[in-house]
Structure 1
């Protein structure tokens, strides 16, 4: 098959979850004998025309000049280019800024869209933006030939809101097998002597809820707060908790070796995300051997099942901090590692996508043959 992947800043990954998936999946498809194209921003750090056998198409992306509005121009340029390529399948990762151009998508290509999370529920957006995102989601759901949901919660929402079936295929992760306790020295922490929370600084990620629970404990165990705090909500949190010496805002951290070791050697890893599908950082925490305390919602429970502790308010965070012992919970940590190896490993995830593509492709050819 001749396959295109749209909707990311490009490969190799220099940005986030969809880019990581696009990198792994595109190379996997090439290894399976398919002709694959990935659309990259014109200013992506990787400027070659091939990446491990994957064809790279650079399109002009003015986001660096225009901000969010530039994403719409970039997606327009990618879709416009796709019209001349005679693709069998176009995989769109997300819908936020590309669904408005649905009418430009090649009519002969099978359009498959990964619907991402429920973006319009994110409280960081104003009401008009939320309304637009809900409109964009509906367009993508209704106009795509097939949908992929990366969590059972998203799958249920697509069925309930739009009457559309979707293929459930989760995100992936790789189990961490190379611990290096010496890395902790760089962060002035000791094995199982600190806690951790990692997220974008947005209200729906409940960093504030976690830190309120920390503030109520009156102990000196540090918590590392990982994420770019140079946002409006970040400024608010830093000001609110500046008097608590055990709350350490360490900024964004993109060194995977450091992150994996910090997660592995933490006492409790808090995951506060409350909106969206299968969150990549949650799977990475599972894969690194963290003891996870997660915000109590359907998305997190759908992934973690009974292999985590849950919280819904600061008092419950405080209770977990005072009573959880990592050594006593080795079984659920091992269950999460097994879940990554059995259900969320990249080979299996890539295989599920390819099987779905083949089924869609076969169905279309049968229809045309009649």
Structure 2
């Protein structure tokens, strides 16, 4: 194949891998990797051993595993180092890098003449789960990303404004997408959840960390109507105080369902679509992928008040201050009004369709990557395949 007709090659760096279900980046890559291949790209995704689902692999996507250190403080940096150096050696036509912690390693790509498009994600250095040293590392990585990346992607207009104000860098706003229809709903696991029926439960689905308001939700759950079931989706163990608090709540209230991490996307979609209320407590970050997916499923959403949640949910959203009493009162009020819930569900799904559909999101990524191809022959070859 000549240079004029070969498919451009993109390396995706900084996620758990492909296909993986860990978080928002992984959800994006599950959609983006095959989309890019179908639009003329060769795609390689750098991955962590044990973090992908081989049974769901797509043979069109090349998965490259690199080693790393599996600790809270070193995993992101160690895998970022090995994947970036491996990608630099293979010299793709462009690199899509996720997470500013990988900003330290961008010079390895730049030294090889590889254009870098980076998704900056949220403001990791403001998350409560990180100690002072980790926050300093993330902030330093953000500064390195601002210096070395050719193009930046912000998943929120508020994040874009922050980067322009603090780091003097423009970025392209591309949110996350969502999709949900009847074929993507699976109620089968509900049979194991005694008493759970559409509309009779309140749920939260998030990592059990402070900035997701899990502690406030657990406190609020004690003041919800006794008839309301409580569903908690989020992994943890006895080393996590919030997990222990959820276990204690379950011991107090027999209608609490502590599900841990749910890896069945269709089951999670069913939970969102049929919840009496979904509480979204995320306080740090931009466009949250879980929130967008819940909206696509027509979830009835009560969200912690923040500029990011207001941006996504829009003027019809229901917001509460970070106070357990206020959360309990708002959730209880919504539960008591079936007509209100029906209206909230329609508004959420309509807004998701209008602003957060995967098609336009993936097209914007592809266009931004195409713009970074360095030769006319590369751009022409991509046009032929598109």
TM surpasses 0.5: yes
Q: Does 1:264 align with 2:273?
A: yes
Does residue 192 (structure 1) correspond to residue 199 (structure 2)? The answer is: yes
Query: Equivalents in 2 of 1:249, 1:46: separation in Å?
Result: 24
Q: CA deviation at 1:193?
A: 1.0
Where does the alignment leave 5 or more consecutive residues of structure 1 unmatched? none
Give the 5 Å matches for 1:116-135: 116-135=121-140
Residue among 168, 193, 202 paired with 2:173: 168
Query: Which residue number in structure 2 is paired with residue 104 of structure 1?
Result: 108
TM-score (norm 1): 0.89
Picking from 121, 145, 149, the partner of 2:150 is 145
Give 1:26 shift. Answer: 1.5
Aligned CA distance change for structure 1 residues 181 and 87 (closer, same or farther; 3 Å): closer
Q: Which residue of 1 aligns with 2:381?
A: none
1:74 corresponds in structure 2 to 79
CA distance in 1, matches of 2:39, 2:296: 26
Return the alpha-carbon distance in structure 2 between the equivalents of residues 239 and 356 of structure 1: 45
Aligned equivalents of 2:222, 2:267: Cα separation in 1: 26
Q: Deviations over 1:224-283 (max 9, x none)?
A: 111113142324523663434444423222212221112211111100010112111111
1:221 Cα deviation after fit: 1.4
Deviation at 1:34, TM superposition (A): 1.6
Provide structure 2 residue ranges, at least 5 long, that are not aligned to the other structure. Answer: 1-7, 378-386
Structure 2 residue 315 is matched with structure 1 residue 306: yes
The CA distance in 1 between the partners of 2:21 and 2:165, in whole Å, is 35
Matches within 5 A, 1:270-281: 270-281=279-290
Q: Does 1:157 align with 2:162?
A: yes
Which runs of structure 1 show a deviation greater than 4 angstroms over 4 or more consecutive aligned residues? 42-48, 179-183
Q: How many residues align?
A: 361
180-189 or 111-120, which moves further after superposition?
A: 180-189
Q: What displacement does 1:223 show?
A: 1.1
Alignment TM-score, normalising by the size of structure 2: 0.86
Alpha-carbon distance, 1:365 to partner: 6.2
